[in-house]
Amino acid sequence: MEEEIFLFALTELDCPRLPRNTALTVTFAAPGDELPQLLLDLRTERAFNWKSAVILHDNTLSGEFQNS
């Protein structure tokens, strides 16, 4: 009988991911640091066929709105 192992990794920002078919990789990120990691993951997985991206950030949102 062959054993199957599923790995779980808790990583920091910009750490490489383990193979998706054998592991779950979760990044520990402070609030506000998750967007760059999300974009890196999308690019690494080639989720979109893009050559460039434009990101607009609106800093006028209040902290109460972001935390609700």
The pLDDT tens digits for 7-61 are 899 999 988 888 888 889 999 988 878 888 888 888 888 888 888 878 777 777 6
pLDDT at 65 over 60: no
Residue type, 52: S
pTM of the model: 0.57
The DSSP 8-state label assigned to residue 5 in this structure reads: -
21 near 9, Cβ under 8 Å? no
Cα 5 to the center of its chain, rounded Å? 23
Other CB atoms within 10 A of residue 25 CB: 16
Q: What is the pLDDT of residue 64?
A: 57
pLDDT at 4 over 90: no
**Integer Rg of the chain from CA:** 16
